[in-house]
Amino acid sequence: MRHETRASTRAAKPNLIGLSPGKLAALLAGMGEKPFRARQILRWVHRRGELDFAAMTDISVKFRQRLARETTLEPPPLRHRFNAGDGCVKWILKTASGSSVEMVYIPDGGRGTLCVSSQAGCTLDCSFCATGKQGFDSNLTAAEIIGQVWLARRELGGFENGGGPAVTNVVFMGMGEPLLNFDNVMDAVDLLLDDHAYGLSKRRVTISTAGVVPAIRRMAGRTDAALALSLHAPNDELRDELVPLNRKYPIKALLEAAREYLASLGERREPLIEYTLIRGVNDHRRHARELAVLLRDFPCKINLIPFNEFSASEYRRPSDSSLGNFRGILVDAGYTVMVRSTRGDDIAAACGQLTGAVRDQTRRRERLLARTVAAAPARGLIASAGDGSPSAAESFRAEERAP
């Protein structure tokens, strides 16, 4: 019983790595300290990468000892690292709930984009996304979210006198729907934007959503981060199939909420429209023309994403000609259109491929596996990393089963 009490006490300690600047200042004020102490700790942790209170030499020894007794600084533990041939890096992290989640670093010239996860799994089950097929376990804590950024900087050498590849952009496009974990994501965004922490520009932190309309409206007055809308279809009928959340919040409501958020920022800001092109599903010329009409009164940029195949899906990547035709129609209609390069696919780190290993609370993965196994003889499916070796997620599940 005494052991359980000690464990509970440890678990109850505030983890300062995930506290937003405001919450950290409030905690320290409750300890009788002035606001500048919060700024000092933010700089030590997020700018210098220091987790040892004893090393924070501009703080009194007495207060450092108190911090060590009453609080903690703990990023999530790393389980695996995978390096892609194109320079991308994928890390798998263990969460407090026992699942594993993934984050990906994508270098591109002087830009370094970190794609972070916000949930272990996802409740939305978009038909083209590998993450959704894993089911859902839990929301990540703010410490587990911002801890991904901290760990990436450490792994890339970014805390060593400013050296190493830089994390210049952070996108909430990893595992999970960020706006269904609103408060923890907002705390992480506060740290990303704070000058005493990561100091990123509001245009370099992007929250991507499949369309949680009430939460988009909540963003107004809470943050001014960039917004990306995972649209993927030009009409409600097709989007209902690809993004089931659309049945609750259809396209018109989504675009209206986005307009309201952007108007609240008091400056000209354009959202990013994400559109995953799937062969024979949403990549026809008529879909491009319909999309051009849909967005004609909605200033935006469009990011076309060729579908990245994974074993549990029957969807296929579009042909180069379909992609070119689709892009050409949108460009001719006056849109700024980018085509997302497929990066990190040799380590299953490309867009839509992140799976981790989720302790599924929904039984979705169990049902999908049953269907996949039943269809495997006819379709020749092999759930592997693509080279005959087990995927990272399968390896983790094997570890779970081991005695």
The helix (H) or strand (E) run that includes residue 205 is strand 205-209
Measured distance CA(78)–CA(59) in Å, rounded: 29
Cβ proximity of 147 and 18 under 8 Å:
yes
**Global pTM value:** 0.84
Asked if 125 contacts 364 with a C-beta cutoff of 8 angstroms, the reply is yes
Buried b (16+ CB within 10 A) or exposed e, 41-52: bbbbbbbebbbe
* Residue range 311-346, pLDDT digits in tens: 767 899 999 999 999 999 999 999 999 998 765 555
Report whether 277 contacts 307 (CB < 8 A): yes
Tell me the C-alpha distance between 61 and 52, whole Å: 12
The whole-number average pLDDT for the span 99-125 is: 93
pLDDT at 125: 86
- What token pair was written down for 9? 């006490």
Q: Return phi, psi of residue 340, to 5°.
A: -70, 125
Q: List, for residues 99-110, the tens digit of each pLDDT value.
A: 999 999 999 988
CATH of 2-70, picked from 1.10.760.10, 3.40.190.10, 3.40.47.10, 1.10.150.530, is 1.10.150.530
Element at 170 (helix H, strand E): strand 169-172
pLDDT tens readout for residues 17-32: 999 999 999 999 999 9
Q: Tell me: pLDDT of 364 over 60.
A: no
Range 92-118 average pLDDT? 93
Same fold, 2-70 and 78-398: no
The arithmetic mean of pLDDT across residues 150-171, rounded, is 85
Q: Report domain extents, the chain.
A: 2-70, 78-398
pLDDT band at 4 (very low <50, low <70, confident <90, very high): very low
For 212-217, what is the mean pLDDT? Answer: 98
Residue 35 has pLDDT above 90, yes or no: yes
How many whole angstroms separate alpha carbon 85 and alpha carbon 114? Answer: 17
* Token code pair at residue 291: 């999309």
pLDDT-wise least confident of 118-127, 274-283, 354-363: 354-363
Distance CA 199, CA 196 (A): 7
**Annotated catalytic sites, by residue?**
102, 351
Was domain 78-398 assigned CATH 3.40.50.300? no
**CA–CA distance from 199 to each of 27, 108, 110, 187, 281 (Å)?**
22, 20, 17, 14, 41
CA-based Rg of the chain, rounded to a whole angstrom? 22
Report which DSSP code applies to 264. H
Query: In the beta sheet, which residues pair with residue 36?
Result: none
What's at 74, amino acid-wise? E
Task: Name the residue among 156, 157, 172 with its Cα closest to residue 115.
Answer: 172
Calpha distance 63→50 (Å, rounded): 16
The closest alpha carbon to 117, from 138, 133, 86, 98, belongs to 138
